[in-house]
Amino acid sequence: MTTQRTKRLALVAVALMAMPAFAWAENLTMWVRDSGATLTTRVIDHWNKTHPGDPITLSVIPHDQMVTKFATAAAAGEGPDLLSLDLIFMPDFMKAGFIKDITDLMAKNPNIKKVVQAHLDLATYKKRLYGVPFTPDNSILLYNKALFKQAGLDPEKPPTTSGEILAAARKIRKLGPDIYGWYFSGSCPGCNIFTMAPQMWAAKGTVVLPAGCEAEPLKGESIKQVLTNYRTMWKEGLIPQGAKVDPGANFMSVFMSGKIGMQGSGNFAVGLLKEKAPNIDFGIAFLPGPNKGDASSFAGGDVLTIPAASKHAAKALEVLNWVLTDDPQLEVYAKTGNLPSRTDLAKNKYFDADPRLTKTAQALAVAQTPWTFHFNDMSNDNSSPWIEMLQTAIFEGDVDGAIAKAKKRMKQIQCE
């Protein structure tokens, strides 16, 4: 009898000892848009490997449905525990109160002072912090060195002005009927705010998207200059016809064919081309503006946030802190050719091995991101004034009319 009781007590004791492990284990959910899923999956896999007790289940959402899906869920008090959100949408969601204020919770983290400033700015509303940089990317000029060489151009001297882009594109086009000087996705508003807008705001004083109702949208001569440059390239057939209807699906694949001289792209192109098109000898440069010495970039990517409706906010905060530590920053981000979110780690053993990666990291220093409400309405949506302006100016030739109409619509959107 005593033995039986002892056995039972022992069993209960073992069960009680095991309980904390179960009690503390939390299954977190996270949403990410498809365009940022590759790196995020690697980061989350690394978390799940190093934190087996608190696994994260990642859901990949089509990028054009992410905002609507999250807004609808948040309005209903639902949503994931962690959200990887395109930083340009932060102002709207911070204002709406859909994202948790983490200012005080992150105050003691020394790494927060070392992250990409543009991301921090976009994750800040009324001096309160709502997220940490997660998967930063930035735009650069991508060019095919082999085609440069064949066209008699110096492959080590990429274009430094819009005019030089045009001149190089003309020379490259002469190489063959199926070889083109330039490529861009003509029906992709997001791709072009990422790669064309920096060429505009590279000129000092240019404003593409206004910060509020009082500010003037599309301010600056460089807007017309860049649009005219694209128009000339289109009219002269330096860009493939298919570019007009590319919604972004061929943003990288056309360059991978080896028949495109140059295009605006992102830091992610380095890793992608090395993996998928190892035969292409490509170079990386800053996106130039119309004038000598002008160069810029778009600091894009995702911010990692905790939705206000998160059911495991404390554990989610642990993830935010962990993401900024050396281990994932170097062994996941840098190792796979992706920009670390911490600028102090931009120089690392992995990037030292490829100067093109270093160049992408340097572009962050000249990068900008507009802090504005209604970013989606003004530029990212398929019916936005931004894409309407590009298509009217480049494909129809009415540059002045396109700018005037877009100015009016952007002003209306901001002032509503």
Partner 1 sequence: MSTIRYRRSSAIGLVYVAPALLFVGFLTLYPFAELIVMSFYNSSLLGGSSFTGFNNYVKAWNDAFVWNALRFTLKYTLFITPILMGLGYLAALLTAGEQRLQKLTRGIIFLPVVIGLGSSSLLWFWLFDSQVGLFNKLLQDLHVISAPLVWFGDAELGLWAVIISIVWKVVGFGMILFVAGIQAIPHEIQEAAMIDGTGYWQRVRRITLPLTYRTIMLATLISAIGSMLAFEQFYIMTAGGPTNKTISSVYWIYTNSFTYFKLGYGATLSIILMSIIFAATAVQITLTRQQRDR
Binding site for partner 1 (CB under 8 A): 67-68, 71-72, 75, 92-93, 95-98, 187, 241-242, 244-245, 247, 250, 374, 376-377, 381-383, 387-388, 391-392, 395-396
Q: How many Cβ atoms from other residues are within 10 Å of residue 206's Cβ?
A: 22
Closest separation between CB of residue 93 and partner 1, Å? Answer: 7
> For residue 358, how far is the Cα from the chain centroid?
17
Partners of 302 in the β-ladder: 86, 135
Residue 241 Cβ vs partner 1, minimum distance, rounded to whole Å: 5
Nearest to 87 by CA among 267, 305, 386: 305
Q: What is the per-residue burial (b if ≥16 Cβ within 10 Å, else e) of 227-242?
A: bbbbbebbeeebbbee
Which of 138, 147, 141, 140 is CA-nearest to residue 279?
147
Bridge pairing between strands 124-125 and 128-129 = antiparallel
Identity (one letter) of the amino acid at 15? A
C-beta of 47 vs 89, nearer to partner 1: 89
365 Cβ neighbours under 8 A, 6+ residues apart: none
Q: Which is nearer to partner 1, 342 or 409 (CB)?
A: 409
Separation between Cα atoms, residue 192 and residue 259, nearest integer Å: 21
Residue closer to partner 1 by CB (options 73, 277) is: 73
- Provide the minimum distance between the beta carbon of 380 and partner 1 in the complex, in angstroms, as a whole number: 9
- Residue bearing tokens 């981000």: 333
Nearer to partner 1, 286 or 386 (CB): 386
Report the amino acid identity of residue 296.
S
Cβ nearer to partner 1, comparing 203 with 243: 243
Minimum Å gap between C-beta 178 and partner 1 is 11
Shortest reach from residue 125's CB to partner 1, in Å: 13
Smallest gap, in angstroms, from Cβ of residue 372 to partner 1?
A: 14
Q: Using CA atoms, how far apart are residues 61 and 149, in angstroms rounded to an integer?
A: 41
Nearer to partner 1, 315 or 409 (CB): 409
Least CB distance to partner 1 at residue 95 (A): 7
Closer residue to partner 1, CB minimum distance, 77 or 355: 77
Q: Are 359 and 140 in contact (CB under 8 A)?
A: yes
> Could you tell me the CA-to-CA distances from 334 to 19, 99, 279, 404 in Å, in that order?
38, 28, 22, 43
